Amino acid sequence: MVRQPPRSTQSRSSAASDVYKRQEPINDVVVKIDQRGNPVRVRDVGVLSDSSDIQTNVVRTDGKRSVYLRVNKQPIANTVEVVDALRKAIPKMIGIPPGVQLGISFDQSIYIRQSIKNLIEQALHGSLLAAAVIAVPLSKAVGLGSIIGYLAAGIAIGPWGLGLVTNVEDILHFAEFGVVLMLFLVGLELEPKRLWSLRRPIFGWGSAQVLGCAAALAGVAVALGVAWPTAVVAAPGVAVLLPAGTARGDGGPVFQVPTATPTSRPTRTPTPRIPRLAPTATPSPTPATYRRVVPGVSNEALPTSTAGTAADLSGLRQSLSTAINKFPVSGAYAIAVTDLQSGASVDVHGDRYPLSGCIMNLFVLMSTMLDVQQGAYPLDDVSEVIAATIWSSNTATARALYRKTGGNDLGTGLRKVGRLMNERMGMEGTLIDHPPGYPAETLGRDPNNWISANDTNRGLTALWNGSILHDPYRVYLLDAMVQVSPTLNYLLAYNPHGRVGHKNGWLFEDGGWVDNDSGIVRFVKDGREYAYAITFMSQDVEQFKAEVPLGQQLARITWDWFNAAYP
């Protein structure tokens, strides 16, 4: 402390560096130069004494007296790097008195680190979403399903791919949340009775499939250098995930089938409760020679064959009947085939009325397109919903179409579709009570929906001949019906020949499995297009998918006949 002469009572405190070992040399320090150029030293302005400043604050840490040392960084220095260097230096400091502990009481870098972590998490979430948006549609487009798409996206951005995600621990909560959601969905959809009915395919073929896939995946993993304990543990989990996407009808192996349509307990009589009228003759088609391309609506313009002399279909009927009678699996089977060139039809049990399943949704598609044709709303309002309904046999989007065609009223839409079928398409015996998959939203007519193979072909014939929809709307729907997920092409579309536009649906009821498929097969010869309508229906089949070989056989028999009839 420097104290001025007696005439002044002021004092100044100054901290000296360790350059000065004693007090006396400080007296010779020059503090200024006077007007004459003479140096003014410390001893000229006051008396130097060794003292201390007055204490104005007290620092305590955990209740104990402490000394607070503030460390400031240089303006160009990095705060995080300075803090890290200081933390490394503290344990190496020497000369610390015994009993004195050094520690950091305030660290400004914490906020910077948290901000950086938040940015990394946001980037991680963005990369996950971006990868899913790109990979999932591509995977579904090639028929592999959304689950495979998500797996591919994870591999692409992971540490063994592009390296966008290197710290796997940061995304564990994502994976855990996904597993929770999957288990939640499984719990919602699993019915004990349905599980028991599927016991053979699930615990038999299902177990074999999982074990086989797990063994193959484990072998691949070991070949790629993964430790065998890790491969053995991880492979079954991946094998379980692979078919998970196909159970909901969004992609996967071709042998999978669409999502089951829930139903109430069906009436056990083979016909609905309303009286059945005599089947009407299938209307003869009007030649659709006016088919044309409209940009953005239709992708095909081929001359349609003109009506001619009705071909003799008796040989075809005999072949279909023989195949059904020889089929060893018990069940109620029916098929109807209509030559759309002549209007001639044959059937085997075609006037029976089994449960319809989701093929009933064919006619809400027609009703919706009829609304578009009449200007009720633009095609853009419903095009994506129509595509989703056809692609994956989606009952939720079909329900939305019933509401849309009913002017935002579901009951009105159901009655409107019923009148379209019964009054304008000649499907007088068909009954629709509720949207397939939603038995609780009933009109009170019957616990179930009923339709026959012949009635379905009447509706398809009306679509084909233009009596319901005119071009380009007719062609738009015909082309849209071809865009079906590969998982659903296991009956009529299993035959690799021709263009098959179809709608199918299945469900389980007390008597067994119901599996129906209905559509129009088109083929071109010498630049001219030919077509036939075909509907296959099965009910009371005890084994899951046991009817599939018969449906495929009947589809091939029909194709062979038409291919020979129109050389």
> Is pTM beyond 0.75 here?
no
Residue 532 near residue 520, CB atoms below 8 Å: yes
Query: pLDDT tens digits for 244-296?
Result: 444 443 433 333 333 344 333 334 333 333 333 333 343 333 333 323 333 33
Nearest Cα residue to 435 out of 262, 258, 259, 247? 262
Which is more confidently placed, 166 or 7? 166
Query: pLDDT tens digits for 208-239?
Result: 777 777 788 778 878 877 777 776 666 566 55
Spatial separation of the C-alpha atoms in residues 476 and 473, rounded to whole Å? 5
Spatial separation of the C-alpha atoms in residues 2 and 30, rounded to whole Å? 13
Which is more confidently placed, 380 or 222? 380
User: Which tokens sit at 162?
Assistant: 């592009």
Say what the pLDDT of residue 494 is.
83
Query: pLDDT tens digits for 172-182?
Result: 776 677 677 76
Omega cis (within 30) before 472: yes
pLDDT at 345 over 70: yes
Nearest Cα residue to 488 out of 248, 132, 282? 248
User: Which tokens sit at 333?
Assistant: 């089977």
Three state DSSP letters for 452-521: CHHHHHHHHHHHHCCCCCCCCHHHHHHHHCCCCCHHHCCCHHHCCCCEEEEEEEEEEECCEEEEEEEEEE
* Backbone phi, psi, residue 13, to 5°: -105, 140
CB atoms within 10 A of CB 305: 19
Q: How confident is the model at residue 164 (pLDDT cuts 50, 70, 90)?
A: low
Say what the pLDDT of residue 5 is.
53
Spatial separation of the C-alpha atoms in residues 72 and 77, rounded to whole Å? 10
What is the arithmetic mean of pLDDT over 55-83? Answer: 81
Length of the chain equals: 567
Say what the pLDDT of residue 56 is.
75
Q: How many helices (H) and strands (E) does the chain have?
A: 17, 12
pLDDT at 125 over 90: no
Say what the pLDDT of residue 501 is.
93
Domain 316-565 architecture: 3-Layer(aba) Sandwich (3.40)
What is the domain partition of the chain in residue ranges? 2-48, 59-107, 110-189, 195-253, 316-565
